[in-house]
Amino acid sequence: MTPLQDATPKPPRYPADLEASMILPKQRASPASSLASLPYRRSNPSLHKLFESTTSLSGSRPSSGSATPTASVVPSSTFSPGSRLNGAGTPGSLPPGVSDEHRLLIQRAFAPHVVVLADTETEELMRRKGLEGGLLQLLRPFGESVPGKVTIRDSVGAGKSCDDFGVRFVGINEGLGLPPRNPNLRVNTTNGQSEGARTSSSAVPPRRIGGDVAQIEELVDRHLQYSEFNTEGMVSDYLSQSEPVPAEATSSPFYTLYLRRLLSGLPLVPHETFAHPVAGVIAISSRNPNPIEELRRLYKRQHDGDLRLPQWVENDFLRYYLLIHDEDTGDIAKSNQTFDAMKRHFGLHCHLLRLKSQQCIPSDDDSVRLPTCEWMSAGEELAEIQKRETADDITDPTPYIPDSDITAIKTFVRELVAQSIVPNMERAIATWNEQVLARRRGISGRFMSLSKRWTPFGSSRNSSSPTLSSNSNYDSLQGFYRPDAPEALMRKLADYCFMLRDWKLALSTYDILRTDFQNDKAWRHYAGAAEMAALSALMSTTPLSSKTRTENIDAWIEAASYSYTDRQRSAAPYYALRTLALGLELLRLRGSGAADDAARWASRILETGLVGAVGTALFTERISACYAVRTGVGAFKLGSRRRKAALWAVLAAENWWRLDKALQAEKCLDAATRLYGIHGQETQTGGPVKLPFPQMQAYIDELRQQILGLRLTNRGLLLDEDGEGGAEVAQSLMVEEATETLDKSPRGHRKSLIGMVAPPPIDVGPLSPRLERGPEADRRDDQFEGA
Amino acid sequence: MSYFFTIFSPTDTPLFTHEFGTSRSGGDGIARFTASERSLAPFILHSSLDIVEELQFGPSSTSGSAPMYLKHIDKYANNFVSCWITGANVRFLLLTRPRDEALGLAGGGGAGARGSLAGGRVTGSGLYDPRSPATEEAVKNFFVDVYEAWLKTVMNPFFHAGNGDVVKSPVFRQRVAAAAKKYL
């Protein structure tokens, strides 16, 4: 049916670096050549789904139906379900207040990590189900949000239930850097784990570890391009421009995506333990002949064998034993027997998971699409996009699994989290709080830390660290604390508190750690503690009343961002960016007083050059949003930052325009004019309201013109190109199959992605009737609109 | 150093705009803005009005007295803004763009140093500091002279500058230029 099914299989090449991809849209081929390959591209529904599923989180996740519990978790009010850009566009009408969205995002981002290890039989079973990634791929989407409420007791014993708790299932070898780095992806100068050499190079080809700013930028740019060229109703939008647009939304979905990817796939590093496993799932199949021995073997491999984590990772985390029963071929009586044996040997942390082993296809009765991971790293999502773009198959490559499997997995995840992981973490917190923190906090602990600092022989605490250079526990040569050192335990305690949302204890612990790390001159650790201290202080819902408190937090953020970047040549700009970005988001939520600070941190991001081109535009936009939060008091709006917000909105519009993102530029410019109060109003004499400053008015007018021109260019409406394009279209009508061969440019295929002409006003499925009509119709359309 | 001087009426309308360079240390008094800086300057000054208003009406930090000279109030990238408020709530805003060397961005090399992801903030002596007493004093003297000329202009009964008309008087422009040459 699709005439271009047999188009050249040459995959589009992807620019390795951002700059190259920025300028792509300018060097397009004639519209005809891009037109030729356009329907093929656009009719790839799986690709569309990928973009949609990431940018509209709460929108309709395709065909997952009731299987995605996350839909209700993300505050759905922040995105209008029917946004105009295929779900990738502007969030719709939001009351011009502040939404909690990013706080929830941060809260969900720091989740306990669970290592998944399965035996070969299980992996084979999964492969037969069509899951190339094995058990991990099956479990991962379901761990991101645990169904139902999870009750957490904090350090004082007060219970608190949260319904958006999640865990991250990760592979055992992900932090280890077993395979070499994928050379296609840009070397992450940003990861900067100079000391932990084993971790810095990280993963299997779809890189699961995040922390690479360049990749995040590339990914967001990809999403932006998609929205830029796949918007429906671009024309109608332009025509209705004079109508009042819904009040300025707090954030663009692309910024949310940026933050989410920034927080996805936290790297395994010594100076913070968020990515250190809290628990490990060891899975075997029921078909394994001697299951108990296999479980022991896997445990040994993980504990001290070849799969052992680096030595700065605590190795005695909770192990959870999982028996996977094959519903189709296995014998349930035998599995039950095995399961009982497992329970006898390993205690209560066991589960029997019953899965079907047959492959499921979409047309099956109760098949459900495997949900997309929300928290995949940027590199992983990029790889996924590329895979789907180059795939010839128009069907969705996402595996489908039976409904019964989903129920079983959900039950398993819930049990794992609610009965094993959370209680275990609570217990660990209580123990450490009593044994480590209380001792450190007490008078003797203070004295000891003093004596450690000032006397040459007061080293009563360093017995756990044999390789010490001074009398501290910090191994300054390799840059870590041993996992059983009090500092490491306290850091773990604080991180556990943070993950369980006990902000108060986390804050006090981080604060103690900060001074300890500073005394030890463990700068990376110090920065980490300062960062998390600031974040946990801001995350707590108690009002930060006094000015001094704010100054405190400012000092922490400052110290963290400074120590992450400037000290000791061991720069970790990723972490600095994380500190500043999260700090600014949380400060912004603190209302008008802190909005200035938020904007200041955002401009710090820009000044220190922590982000690339896309990030610059996004954060410029964000500064505008920060200032816009400050509305001022009284009738005269004293203390408002309206004009500042407008300035930054104009700057953002210009940035977007430079990046050839007409839609975003337009949006920012509209926001700016609204802030200046000249949007869509008319003076009494009838003309539009002008800015008082003629130079400013001229600048804005010119910018608008340029954006309009860019938008037309993006749609392939340049007149001179029209002329030669017409001839080619005529030819292509004659020999429809030969369209691709006319495409002389070597870059034709790549351009086709970007230099698309206007898409049809409806979201066509794979087989659009437009294809039968032929490109002539499109051509006529274009000339009509161009005229 | 390049300067961009604007007088804003109480309703945020620019009444007078003047652009000049430094005449000190061998300067020729010609502004050296790049095209983008020049087009952004009005935006920056306009946005600084937010800060002006906050300082003006916010809690007093000067123990009761209300000085007309607010000193350095705002900064955008490499542009520093100083302010003077007259009794009639007319705002004089002076945007200062120091030379790159004065900011520690050595010409050309600065971009490379800044572009490194590690970030790098240069601190040291000899850099432009908007809060140094000498700078504040020079800007103050400039503002005082302009204020004097401004008073004489707005008191002219044939002229409606006080009512929001743009100042076109060549004499006034001359006086501003003279003050600029003398102090900045």
- Domain boundary assignment for chain B: 2-183
Give the minimum alpha-carbon distance from A251 to chain B in angstroms, rounded to a whole number: 21
Q: Burial code of A531-564, b = ≥16 C-beta within 10 A, e = fewer?
A: bbbbbbbbbbeeebeeeeebebbbebbbbbbbbb
Q: Which residue has the higher pLDDT, A784 or A103?
A: A103
Most confident of A205-219, A657-671, A672-686: A657-671
Same structural domain for residues A738 and A681?
A: no
Residue A60 pLDDT > 70, yes or no?
no
Number of separate helices (H) and strands (E) present in chain A: 33, 11
Name the pLDDT band for A250 (thresholds 50, 70, 90): low
pLDDT at B4: 92
Same structural domain for residues A708 and A641?
A: yes
Residue A489 pLDDT > 50, yes or no?
yes
Q: What's chain A's average pLDDT?
A: 71
Strands A277-285 and A168-171: unpaired
**B12, B42, B47: residue with CB nearest A644:** B47
**A573, A639, A647: residue with CB nearest B117:** A573
Which residue(s) pair with B153 in the sheet?
A: none
Cβ contact, residue pair A566, B58, below 8 Å: no
Same structural domain for residues A563 and A669?
A: yes
Cβ contact, residue pair B121, A189, below 8 Å: no
Kindly report which listed range (A437-446, A503-512, A554-563, A582-591) carries the lowest average pLDDT score: A437-446
Residues 110-139 of B with CB under 8 A from A: 114-121
pLDDT at A112: 92
Q: What are A635-671's pLDDT values in tens digits?
A: 667 778 888 899 999 999 999 999 988 888 988 998 8
Q: Which domain holds residue A742?
A: 1-34+719-787
pLDDT at B81: 92
Same structural domain for residues A156 and A175?
A: yes
Q: Is B42 on the interface with A (CB under 8 A)?
A: yes
pLDDT at A687: 58
Residue A327 pLDDT > 90, yes or no?
no
Q: Which residue has the higher pLDDT, A297 or A768?
A: A297
Cβ contact, residue pair A566, B120, below 8 Å: yes
Cβ contact, residue pair B50, A643, below 8 Å: yes
Residue of A nearest to B38 (CA): A695
Give the minimum alpha-carbon distance from A648 to chain B in angstroms, rounded to a whole number: 9
Name the pLDDT band for A697 (thresholds 50, 70, 90): confident
Name the pLDDT band for A568 (thresholds 50, 70, 90): low
Residue of B nearest to A564 (CA): B118
Same structural domain for residues A137 and A24?
A: no
User: In degrees, to the nearest 5, what angle opens at C-alpha A267 toward C-alphas A263 and A270?
Assistant: 125
Cβ contact, residue pair B47, A693, below 8 Å: no
Nearest to A310 by CA among A275, A281, A265: A275
In terms of DSSP H, where are the helices of B30-105?
35-57
Element (H, E) at A664: helix A662-676
Cβ distance A401 to A368 under 8 Å? Answer: yes
pLDDT at A546: 56
Best interface-test mutation with A: which of B117, B122, B123, B166 has the largest number of A CBs within 10 A? Answer: B117
Instruction: Report d(CA A610, CA A578) in Å as an integer.
Output: 10
Kindly report which listed range (A23-37, A154-168, A372-386, A633-647) carries the lowest average pLDDT score: A23-37
Residue A785 pLDDT > 70, yes or no?
no
Chain A residues lying within 8 Å of B121, measured CB to CB: 566, 608
Residue A18 pLDDT > 70, yes or no?
no
Cβ contact, residue pair B119, A573, below 8 Å: yes
**B43, B51, B58: residue with CB nearest A650:** B43
Residue A522 pLDDT > 90, yes or no?
no
Residue of B nearest to A613 (CA): B115
User: Could you give the C-alpha distances from A662 to A235, A671, A750, B28, in angstroms and in order?
Assistant: 13, 14, 20, 41
Within a domain: residue A241? no
Checking B57-66 for CB contacts under 8 A at 24+ apart, the result is B57/A638, B57/A639, B58/A638, B58/A639
CATH number at residue A636: 1.25.40
Total number of domains constituting chain A: 3
pLDDT at B147: 93
Percent of chain A beyond pLDDT 70?
63
pLDDT at B14: 87
Within a domain: residue A239? no
pLDDT at A570: 62
Same structural domain for residues A765 and A684?
A: no
Chain A residues lying within 8 Å of B50, measured CB to CB: 640-644
Give the minimum alpha-carbon distance from A105 to chain B in angstroms, rounded to a whole number: 26
Residue A351 pLDDT > 50, yes or no?
yes
pLDDT at A533: 92
Same structural domain for residues A596 and A638?
A: yes
| Other C-beta atoms lying within 10 Å of the C-beta of residue A7 | 19
Cβ distance B26 to B120 under 8 Å? Answer: no
Cβ contacts below 8 Å, chain A against chain B, sum to 72
Best interface-test mutation with B: which of A696, A699, A701 has the largest number of B CBs within 10 A? Answer: A696
Same structural domain for residues A596 and A702?
A: yes
Cβ contact, residue pair A693, B42, below 8 Å: yes
Residue of A nearest to B58 (CA): A639
For the record, the structure tokens of A431 come out as 């123990």
Q: Does domain B2-183 have CATH number 3.30.450.70?
A: yes
Q: Which of A712, A747, A776 is the last residue of a domain?
A: A712
Cβ distance A692 to B14 under 8 Å? Answer: yes
Give the minimum alpha-carbon distance from B49 to chain A in angstroms, rounded to a whole number: 7
Chain B residues lying within 8 Å of A693, measured CB to CB: 13-14, 42, 46
CATH number at residue A123: 3.40.50
Residue A11 pLDDT > 70, yes or no?
no
pLDDT at A651: 92
Checking A410-415 for CB contacts under 8 A at 24+ apart, the result is A410/A69, A410/A142, A410/A147, A412/A322, A412/A351, A412/A353, A413/A139, A413/A142, A413/A143, A413/A146, A413/A147, A413/A167, A414/A146, A414/A147, A414/A148, A415/A351
Q: Is B101 on the interface with A (CB under 8 A)?
A: no
Those residues of chain A whose CB sits closer than 8 Å to some CB in chain B are 189-190, 213, 565-566, 569, 571, 573, 576, 607-610, 638-644, 646-647, 650-651, 692-693, 695-696, 699
pLDDT at A683: 57
**What single-letter amino acid sits at A571?**
A
Cβ contact, residue pair B57, A693, below 8 Å: no
Mean pLDDT per 10-residue interval, chain B, length 184 residues: 89 87 78 86 90 80 74 86 89 88 54 35 57 87 92 80 71 91 86
Cβ contact, residue pair A571, B117, below 8 Å: yes
Same structural domain for residues A639 and A683?
A: yes
Within a domain: residue A765? yes
Residues 6+ apart with CB under 8 A from A159: A151, A152, A153
Instruction: Report d(CA B46, CA A699) in Å as an integer.
Output: 14
Instruction: Report d(CA A737, CA A645) in Å as an integer.
Output: 53
ipTM surpasses 0.95: no
Kindly report which listed range (A45-54, A291-300, B23-32) carries the lowest average pLDDT score: A45-54
Same structural domain for residues A705 and A765?
A: no
Same structural domain for residues A651 and A730?
A: no
**A565, A641, A696: residue with CB nearest B43:** A696
Name the pLDDT band for A39 (thresholds 50, 70, 90): very low
Chain A residues lying within 8 Å of B47, measured CB to CB: 643-644, 646-647
| Other C-beta atoms lying within 10 Å of the C-beta of residue A450 | 12
Chain B residues lying within 8 Å of A639, measured CB to CB: 53-54, 57-58
Same structural domain for residues A748 and A706?
A: no
Nearest to A564 by CA among A523, A616, A620: A523
Q: Which of A439, A457, A488 is the last residue of a domain?
A: A439
Residue A245 pLDDT > 90, yes or no?
no
Chain B residues lying within 8 Å of A643, measured CB to CB: 46-50
Instruction: Report d(CA A174, CA A320) in Å as an integer.
Output: 19
**A190, A566, A647: residue with CB nearest B44:** A647
**What single-letter amino acid sits at B65?**
S
Please tell me whether residue A318 adopts helix, strand or coil conformation: strand
Name the pLDDT band for A532 (thresholds 50, 70, 90): very high
Dihedral angle, C-alpha B173, B177, B179, B183, nearest 10 °? 160
Please tell me whether residue A424 adopts helix, strand or coil conformation: helix
Cβ contact, residue pair B117, A696, below 8 Å: no
Within a domain: residue A444? no
Cβ contact, residue pair B57, A644, below 8 Å: no
Mean pLDDT of A2-9: 40
pLDDT at A443: 63
Instruction: Report d(CA A522, CA A527) in Å as an integer.
Output: 9
Q: Which residue has the higher pLDDT, A307 or B59?
A: A307
Q: What are A110-147's pLDDT values in tens digits?
A: 999 999 988 888 888 888 888 888 888 889 889 888 88
Kindly report which listed range (A326-340, A598-612, A773-787, B108-122) carries the lowest average pLDDT score: B108-122
Mean pLDDT of A565-591: 82
Q: Which residue has the higher pLDDT, A28 or A479?
A: A479
For the record, the structure tokens of A54 come out as 């990431």
Within a domain: residue A104? no
Q: Which residue has the higher pLDDT, A690 or A546?
A: A690
Give the minimum alpha-carbon distance from A18 to chain B in angstroms, rounded to a whole number: 15
Cβ distance B152 to B91 under 8 Å? Answer: no
Cβ contact, residue pair A696, B118, below 8 Å: no
Q: Which of A439, A469, A501 is the last residue of a domain?
A: A439
